């Protein structure tokens, strides 16, 4: 019997794991990831939707002249 090695995306900044089967980002700490999957899970660092939203908000705040709109930019709440 062969051992199956899973690969996945993981955002260590926000502790989110992308599960392709669910098509969803789920909260997963590094310790829980190791405890649940052990060495059978190989993750690579990836950008999650929170990272994208934060980067976009910071960019819009720094370069307001590119985004002339009546709607103010709100920074996303980080948890």
Identify whether the C-beta of residue 6 lies closer than 8 Å to the C-beta of residue 39. Answer: no
pLDDT at 1: 46
Model-wide pTM > 0.85: no
**In the chain, what percentage of residues exceed pLDDT 70?**
78
Smallest CA-to-CA distance from 36 within 25, 48, 27, 24 is with: 27
């Amino acid at each position: 019997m062969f051992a199956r090695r899973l690969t996945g995306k993981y955002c260590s900044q926000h502790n989110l794991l992308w599960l392709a089967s669910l098509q969803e980002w789920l909260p997963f700490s590094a310790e829980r990831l190791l405890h649940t999957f052990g060495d059978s899970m190989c993750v690579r660092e990836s950008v999650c939707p929170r990272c994208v939203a934060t980067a976009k908000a910071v960019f819009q705040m720094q370069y307001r002249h590119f985004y002339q709109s009546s709607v103010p930019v709100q920074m996303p709440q980080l948890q």
